[in-house]
Amino acid sequence: MAAVKIRLWQRSRFYATLISTWVLSLRPFVSLRGVCGPGLHCHGCGLATTTCPVGAIAYGGAMHTIPAFAIGSVLAVGMLSGRLVCAFVCPFGLLQDLLHRIPGPKLRLPRWWRWGKYLALALTVVLLPVILGMAVPGFIALDKPTVTKAEDNKLDVTITARNHGDAPVADPAIALVYRDAQGAEVARTAHAWSGITLAPGERRQLPVVSIDNHLGEADLAVEPAELRPVLEPGLTYFCRFCPAGTLEASVPAMIESGSWNPTWITWVRLGVLAAFLALMWLASRPFCRGLCPLGASYALTTRVSLARIEIDHSQCIQCGACDRVCPAELDVRREVGGMECIACGDCISACSQSGIRRRFSLR
């Protein structure tokens, strides 16, 4: 009976993670790139619904700004649910569980493995981005344009641009694009202002551009021809070698482009991904337990989380059933509800004495 109860619970957890993966990584409804999702997923993937908080925090640090929204999102989720997200929401956690179910030899990870994720958080998400920063070439951002009707079914478009980079932008260029209600492009006009240079930080109204009027059939959008920030050489932040990013963004991009011209960084990223895929088959949740900086962030909020798992030691008969089903390979009687516990609840189902419970309350 206990085995059936455990299987049913694990199946419900699987379906919950499957649904969250669909919502976070396959954009079933709308794009919410301005919102940080709770699980580890790569927003470099064209189908991603939300932004990965790890990437947002590292990017903000590299730009020497405070990514308050991303940090606040992680703290809010952590204080509400702790590491419950790791078991029920994280797409990469789902992949680890599926690969580990494949029959074959299995191994237990050493206890020191768990400290790797805190090192990854401190070093590759916080310290290195802030210390190394980014080299930011000149790139322009555009205010909402002013549009007035002119003669001969023309529109006069007035655009204000600002250089957000560290280098001047000469001959700034934009594209004026008409898109219909379905997002399809109706017409496009490219324009560059020869002889004009925007200094770093300069904001200027550019000379008027005259274009054909298609407002009756489409909406007008203005897109800058801009130079994006580029990374300094070195391990600037976690995303460059994140196996989730390689799997969800880099590999699909290479397949879609049909070109194969790998750099040494590409080979390293593919090697890291292959190593972890193999380790996921051999060991239970190795990335989650040993390298995930998002899991480390949630672990640090465990002590103040509203959701937690507790054990009543007076009911424990020392049978070890909880230890055998724990995907994090914890000594459940000592570590359940702690920083390394992913709050999956498998131990609750395994306990024949109902001595382990989930609580949602202030401590």
* E strand or H helix at 53: helix 53-62
Judged by DSSP in three states, 39 sits in coil
Q: Would you say 263 and 212 are in contact if contact means Cβ atoms under 8 Å apart? A: no
pLDDT (tens digit per residue) in 117-158: 999 999 999 998 888 877 666 667 778 788 888 888 888 989
3 state SS of 196: coil
- 259: β partners: none
d(CA 168, CA 164): 10
Q: For position 2, what pLDDT does the model report?
A: 57
How large is the average pLDDT for residues 14-20?
87
pLDDT for 361 equals: 75
Q: Please name each of the domains of the chain with its CATH number.
A: 2-131+236-360 (no CATH), 140-228 (2.60.40.10)
- In tens, the pLDDT along 278-300 reads 999 999 999 999 999 999 999 99
Query: Taking a C-beta distance cutoff of 8 angstroms, is the pair 224, 141 a contact?
Result: yes
* Structure confidence at residue 251 (pLDDT): 86
Summarised one tens digit per residue, pLDDT across range 161-196 is 888 777 788 888 888 888 887 778 888 888 888 888
> Coil, strand, or helix at residue 205?
strand
Dihedrals φ, ψ of 204, to 5°? -145, 145
pTM to 2 decimals? 0.74
